[in-house]
Chain A
Amino acid sequence: GQQLNQSPQSMFIQEGEDVSMNCTSSSIFNTWLWYKQDPGEGPVLLIALYKAGELTSNGRLTAQFGITRKDSFLNISASIPSDVGIYFCAGQRETGANNLFFGTGTRLTVIP
């Protein structure tokens, strides 16, 4: 199935640093979502974006829905050890259709 291009694939950062990751697609999406997955668990929703250009924050996390509707980015400020995990972007083409297309994931390691 189609996957979104997510980068970087992995990141190693020092605690306290800011993190940025992004997701691009050749297709337009109506909704962009960002999830975090810890080992042995399912993805947990971090931020949902519903309008092109929308900038939304959730604590230290900020995400934006690209103007072209083909991309999105996620920023994490002042990283902490519990930010470790795999971050996935996901796009939804049709309103109300729950067949999400997922990115390939960004594995984040935070060094204390």
Chain B
Amino acid sequence: KAGVTQTPRYLIKTRGQQVTLSCSPISGHRSVSWYQQTPGQGLQFLFEYFSETQRNKGNFPGRFSGRQFSNSRSEMNVSTLELGDSALYLCASSEQGAQWDSPLHFGNGTRLTVT
């Protein structure tokens, strides 16, 4: 099976702009989660989508949003970019078929730089 695919790999944006990141989960996986990774804060949970519905949300401002499509693909949007939004954004998918034996598998991330 192909792994989690994220596009683009690298992105450079200017403060105030908005950005959309894309994630294709592993085939058959219905849950998609997004994480932000920075040197200072480490890996932090943004949100999770399952069957096109947001199921969990982390402690990030409303500028961070996402959605999931019927084919389980997901997009994440950040509006009014700030310098502190520079980070590696990781997408992860899981089956969620079983109650608990469904660990997360991560993509290689999108490196966002805000100037």
Q: Footprint of B on A, CB under 8 Å?
A: 1, 3, 30-31, 33, 35, 40-45, 48, 50, 88, 90, 95-105
Q: Across the interface, do B104 and A45 meet the contact criterion of CB distance under 8 Å?
A: yes
Please judge, given known A-B contacts A33-B104, A42-B107, A43-B106, whether A88 and B58 are in contact too, CB under 8 Å.
no
Least distance between B22 CB and chain A CB atoms (Å): 15
B90 is an interface residue with CB less than 8 A from chain A: yes
A50–B101 Cα gap in the complex (Å)?
A: 8
- B76: Cβ under 8 A from any A Cβ: no
From 48 to 103 in chain B, residues with beta carbon under 8 angstroms from any chain A beta carbon are 48, 55-56, 58-59, 90, 92, 94, 96, 99-103
Inter-subunit contact B58/A99 (CB<8 Å): yes
In the complex, the answer to whether B104 meets A98 with C-beta atoms within 8 Å is yes
- Contact assessment for B108 and A98 in the assembled complex, using a CB-CB cutoff below 8 Å: no
A3 and B42 in contact, given A98-B48, A99-B48 (Cβ under 8 angstroms): yes
Contacts beyond the supplied A42-B106, A43-B106, A88-B43: 19 A-B pairs with Cβ under 8 Å: A1-B45, A1-B58, A40-B108, A41-B108, A42-B92, A42-B108, A42-B109, A45-B104, A45-B105, A48-B101, A48-B103, A50-B100, A95-B99, A97-B48, A98-B33, A98-B56, A98-B92, A100-B35, A100-B45
CB-contact partner of A30 in B58, B59, B100, B109, under 8 A: B100
Q: B25 CB to closest chain A CB, in angstroms?
A: 12
Take A3-B42, A104-B42, A105-B42 as given contacts and tell me if A97 and B56 are in contact as well, using a CB distance cutoff of 8 Å: yes
